[in-house]
Structure 1
Amino acid sequence: MELMREHTEIASGAQLRFRAVPVDGVRKGLRLEEAYWDALAELATDLGVKPGQLISRYAAQYGENGNVTAAVRLGVLEGLREREMQRQATMSLQAIIGMVAGCPTAAFALSGGKKVLTYNPPFLSFLQARLSHLSPEALAAGLKLQLDIPFGALMSRLRNEPQTPVSAGYVIATNDRILRGRLNAVLANAVGEGAIIGYLAG
């Protein structure tokens, strides 16, 4: 019964539907599969525009040969791909925050843009113990962190052997103070530029 319902839903999504949509002030008739019409409506809602406006955008981006229908199909697929990548990035960041927060020792997450994504209370306590003249707000705002291994090279090593931590030296600078030490880096996210979690070893 469940298999029959899934087959019916797939067949329904594959059916061609003709609709007249206002595009740049002119109503254009397009014949697309129902699944594409549904996805187009969802993407338009996400972007806060009307389906016709999104069709115009896709036609301008992908309709070099004048085939608006093909341009819409390509645009919808690209839009869904981008939305899925954003969803994965959001889920990945939430997971990274959870892993760092759950660590009982000082830890932080660093992105490919050398941005500190998050850190845990033990990491903040580590800094406060050594930079007691600064408030937590000042520490967070003025924190600069560098590794003695280029981030790209570090990510390459971790991607090749994700089960093996990499030991690296770090430099934490804030205003007039510099802290140096060692950490163990592990792969946190291999998507795009990637991200690492650093566990301070000293």
Structure 2
Amino acid sequence: MSFSDRHLIPAEQTDLSPSALQQVEEYDAEPKFRAIIGKGGTRRGIRLESVYWDGLSWLINGSRQSMGDVVDQAAAQVGENSNLASMLRVVAFRWMWRRLAIMENVYSTENLNTLIQACPTPAIVLTRDKKIQFFNESFMTMLKQRLALGNIAQLSAGFRFVLDTQVDDAIQSLSAKGKMVTTGFTATCAGKQLSGQINLAMAPSHQKQMVIGYVVRG
């Protein structure tokens, strides 16, 4: 694993590709008829694809609103003679879109870097292709002390950071079990070597799969 400035630049694109996109389930597009009763006992018969009913149910989950409240508000916007079903599709999609925007902001690489910098112990973020995405000052201090380095420029030539566990294997294990993975690591530079132990966890990022490593012994 090399250590250079280009490995520290946040990725601006996601790992999504056409083959990675989830397939639409047959159930999602199946129209479902529901009779919704709003305030005052107003009853409206509505036919929507199942995925939109699911979205609207998610929208009201944990809130004080009922499905009747959502339908009443949508009906008030479109009027009684307009397409209520279309408005409800827009409501569901718009809410999901806004929710996604909030989540992408929370799980951005910028916030991930802030999380690493706030850690008081040596911490590092590794990409699936074994590159160093971020590291904090404590990690740099550890390398300087243990490898007798003068400055970060020395790390750009010949530095290697290798885990005893493959990053791909760690990601698969973390994704499946959701538990921490503990493994060893070896850092080498200019003929000097540092070995230790590191705890791995999935990095909170929507852009690409990465792991956070917290050095527990080095």
- Whether 2:128 is the aligned partner of 1:112: answer yes
Q: SS state of the match for residue 203, structure 2?
A: strand
User: Shift in Å at residue 178 of structure 1?
Assistant: 2.2
Tell me, in whole angstroms, the C-alpha distance in 2 between the residues paired with 1:142 and 1:95.
Answer: 29
Change (3 A) 1:142 1:91: farther
Q: SS state of the match for residue 139, structure 1?
A: helix
Q: SS state of the match for residue 149, structure 1?
A: coil
Q: Which residue of 2 aligns with 1:177?
A: 192
Asked if the contact 1:113–1:193 (Cα under 8 Å) also holds between the matched residues in 2, the reply is no
**Gapped regions of structure 1 (runs ≥ 5):** 15-34, 36-79
Q: Which residue of 1 aligns with 2:38?
A: none
Tell me, in whole angstroms, the C-alpha distance in 1 between the residues paired with 2:174 and 2:128.
Answer: 13
Q: Which residue of 2 aligns with 1:195?
A: 210
Tell me, in whole angstroms, the C-alpha distance in 2 between the residues paired with 1:113 and 1:146.
Answer: 12
Q: SS state of the match for residue 184, structure 1?
A: strand
- 2:173 alignment partner AA: R
- 1:113 alignment partner AA: D
Q: Which residue of 1 aligns with 2:159?
A: 143
Q: Which residue of 2 aligns with 1:100?
A: 116
> TM-score, structure 1 length as denominator?
0.53
Asked if the contact 2:107–2:206 (Cα under 8 Å) also holds between the matched residues in 1, the reply is no
Q: Which residue of 2 aligns with 1:127?
A: 143
User: Shift in Å at residue 107 of structure 1?
Assistant: 0.7
Segment drifting more, 184-193 vs 107-116: 184-193
> TM-score, structure 2 length as denominator?
0.49
- Whether 2:178 is the aligned partner of 1:159: answer no
Q: Which residue of 1 aligns with 2:31?
A: none
> Over aligned residues, Cα RMSD in angstroms?
3.7
Which gives a bigger RCO, structure 1 or 2 (Cα 8 Å, sep 6+)?
2
- 2:186 alignment partner AA: V
Change (3 A) 1:151 1:97: same
User: Shift in Å at residue 92 of structure 1?
Assistant: 2.8
User: Shift in Å at residue 165 of structure 1?
Assistant: 1.4
User: Shift in Å at residue 161 of structure 1?
Assistant: 2.3
**Gapped regions of structure 2 (runs ≥ 5):** 1-69, 91-96
